[in-house]
């Protein structure tokens, strides 16, 4: 499965700091064991392969417009920073703002999957 990433995440993927991605639900979901090909700039002239990986885990995730997170339908009560850091952000506030900008989170909840490698 091809996964495209923004430039801001490339170094964190290569260093192992970013070891997961949160994506909207797919028609054909990524499953444990699937081969992943991580790219920067997919479908552009600047396209470069970051690395190959294998899916180790997947989880359902819902990020509510109020900022709460449900993983596998369970409300997280602890800090959300570990999820944000595993996804390449410095903290949850930064991740929440990114989702607001890129997924219209202020108006509707985000429903997707966490894909870990």
CATH for 30 = 2.30.130
Total structural domains within the chain: 1
When pLDDT is cut at 50, 70 and 90, the band that residue 79 belongs to is: confident
Q: Shortest CA distance to 5 belongs to which of 87, 71, 77? A: 87
In this prediction the pTM is 0.91
Domain that holds residue 49: 2-116
Q: Summarize pLDDT for 20-66 with one digit per residue, the tens.
A: 999 999 999 999 999 999 999 999 999 999 999 999 999 999 999 99
- Nearest-angstrom CA–CA distance, 23 and 49: 19
């Amino acid at each position: 499965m091809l996964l495209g990433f923004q430039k801001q995440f490339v170094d964190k993927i290569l260093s192992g700091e970013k070891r997961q991605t949160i994506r909207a639900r797919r028609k054909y979901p990524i499953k444990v064991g699937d081969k992943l090909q991580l790219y920067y700039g997919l479908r552009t002239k600047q396209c470069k392969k970051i690395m190959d990986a294998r899916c180790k885990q997947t989880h359902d995730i819902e990020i509510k417009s109020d900022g709460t997170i449900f993983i596998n339908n369970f409300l997280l009560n602890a800090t959300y920073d570990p999820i944000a850091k595993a996804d390449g952000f410095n903290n949850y506030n930064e991740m929440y703002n990114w989702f607001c900008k890129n997924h219209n989170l202020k108006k509707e909840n985000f429903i997707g999957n966490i894909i870990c490698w």
